[in-house]
Structures are given as structure tokens and as C-alpha cells.
């Protein structure tokens, strides 16, 4: 199995490897947040944790690019502060899909909103690190 694939003159990382790397990153973020704020993020068991990670990945690959494009003016006006709210929306969608098995609790108070914002920033940070510090260098190395 090749790590880097050249297809139609474009170099990209193997989809399976990319998927595994993102799954590991999202899992790490969920574990960190659930350990730090266990009363606000409820994950029933490891299966639903994995399912939540899988849904986050799918939503980030499908819906998030569209959301980023339509909210670009608002993100620009707020100097990027609005961007984590896109991840918050994705987390709410995951919570809605896995209702009862993956829940974000206490969002009606300031502490709950802070925790959700913190989780969204961690996801954004993980996406940035994964894309710019891991995947792009692997692709560049594969071009040589």
C-alpha cells in the first residue's frame, strides 16, 4: 500500500491513511475534552465514541466546506472568531444524530458554552496540525 498517490497530475495521501490519521486526531480531542469536562460531554461507550468520531469526520469532509464558504463574510468581519462556531454546529449535529449516546450537556450556561467553544477550538487546531504539519509534508516528501 502506497502512502502517497499521484493521480491525474495531483499528489495526495492515501485516503485510508488520511482517514486513520483524522480518526486518531478526533478521538484524541474527544478523550481530552471528556476527561477534562466529564459532566458536560457524555459518551455512552467506546462504540458511540468511535461513531461520533466517524460522523465528525464525514461532516467535516462534506458539510463543513460549504458552511465555511457561506459564513466567510461573517468570519472575516469577526476576524476569524466565528470559525469555531462551525465546529460547534457540527458537534450539535453529531449530538442530534446520536441522541442519548453522545450528548453535550449544560449548553444553557456560560460554562457549558465555554466548554463547547474549547472543544471546537481543539478540533480546529487538530485539523490545522493534521493538514499543515503532517499531511502536506508527507505529500511534499512523496513528490520527490
CA 96 vs. chain centroid, Å, equals 16
CA 80 vs. chain centroid, Å, equals 17
Most confident region among 22-36, 59-73, 125-139 by mean pLDDT: 59-73
Write down the domain spans for the chain: 26-134
Rounded Cα gap, residues 103 and 57, in angstroms: 17
Contact call for residues 138 and 13 (beta carbons, < 8 A) = yes
pLDDT of residue 107: 62
47-63: burial string, b at 16+ Cβ within 10 Å, e else? ebbebbbebbbebbeee
Which of the four pLDDT bands, split at 50, 70 and 90, describes residue 32?
confident
pTM: 0.81
Mean pLDDT of the chain: 84
Summarize pLDDT for 36-75 with one digit per residue, the tens.
877 778 888 888 888 999 999 999 989 999 999 999 999 9
Summarize pLDDT for 85-124 with one digit per residue, the tens.
898 889 889 989 998 888 887 666 777 777 788 888 888 8
User: Around 138, how many Cα atoms within 13 Å sit in the side-chain half-sphere?
Assistant: 19
* pLDDT exceeds 80 at position 21: yes
User: Whose CA is closest to 89, among 78, 111, 104, 99?
Assistant: 104
Amino acid at each position: 500500500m502506497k502512502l502517497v498517490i499521484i493521480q491525474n497530475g495531483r499528489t495526495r495521501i492515501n485516503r485510508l491513511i488520511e482517514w486513520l490519521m483524522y480518526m486518531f486526531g478526533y478521538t484524541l480531542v474527544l478523550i481530552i475534552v471528556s476527561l477534562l469536562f466529564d459532566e458536560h460531554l457524555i459518551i455512552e461507550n467506546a462504540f458511540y465514541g468511535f461513531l461520533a468520531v466517524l460522523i465528525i469526520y464525514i461532516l467535516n469532509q462534506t458539510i463543513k466546506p460549504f458552511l465555511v464558504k457561506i459564513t466567510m463574510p461573517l468570519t472575516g468581519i469577526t476576524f476569524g472568531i466565528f470559525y469555531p462556531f462551525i465546529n460547534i454546529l457540527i458537534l450539535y449535529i453529531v449530538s442530534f444524530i446520536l441522541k442519548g449516546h453522545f450528548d453535550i450537556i449544560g449548553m444553557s450556561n456560560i460554562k457549558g458554552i465555554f466548554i463547547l467553544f474549547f472543544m471546537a477550538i481543539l478540533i480546529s487546531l487538530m485539523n490545522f496540525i493534521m493538514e499543515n504539519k503532517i499531511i502536506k509534508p508527507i505529500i511534499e516528501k512523496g513528490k520527490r
